[in-house]
Structure formats: structure tokens, C-alpha cells
Structure 1
């Protein structure tokens, strides 16, 4: 797999996780998705941060 395609996949995964996490957080705040536990929201947001860091590291440091 080429470096640019891996970076594109990581960037898309970052955006998707961050978007879903923020959407669920906002909908839960409005009282629409009250059944979603807070831990799930934290996992989505922390997963997005981790994938963002991996994407940055892959783009700048890992040259394979």
C-alpha cells in the first residue's frame, strides 16, 4: 500500500470518527440520544485523536 493511500485512509477515518463523536455528543446534549453512554462518546473522540496522531506521524516521520 502506498504512503499516500494509507494517509488518505487515516485522514478519512479521523474525520469520520470525529464527526460521529461530535454528532452523538450534540444529539445527546439535546436529549435525543440519551441512551448512549458517555464512555462511547469518549472512545470515539479519543480514537479520532489517536488516528489523527498516527496520520500525522505517518506523513512526517515514517518513511517506508
Structure 2
């Protein structure tokens, strides 16, 4: 679920890398390193391992 966080916001969801870069003036707010915009080769998708169910059976007394 997405929400508007400020007046004038015109989108829902995650901001783009260029929006983040302009918000912080092109620099990382923590270390001051210059921010770049990732290319398609920089993006990696990792699949989660399939969850396995563990069932604990109690013995009836």
C-alpha cells in the first residue's frame, strides 16, 4: 500500500534513481560520495530459495 507523504507528491511507490540523486544534490547524505545512476548491467535479481514448511507433530498421550 502506498501513500502520499507530502503535498505536491504526484506519484505512488518507489522513487527513480534520478529523483533520489536530485533530492540529495547528487551526493550520498551519509558519506558525501557522488551518486550515480545504475545501468541495466548494474541491476541484479536474486531469487529467494523456496520456503519449506516444517511441521511438528505432537504425539497424543
* TM-score strictly above 0.5: no
Q: Give the helix-richer structure, 1 or 2.
A: 1
Which structure's relative contact order is higher, taking Cα pairs within 8 Å and 6+ residues apart?
Answer: 1
TM-score (norm 1): 0.24
Q: Which structure has the bigger radius of gyration?
A: 2
TM-score (norm 2): 0.24
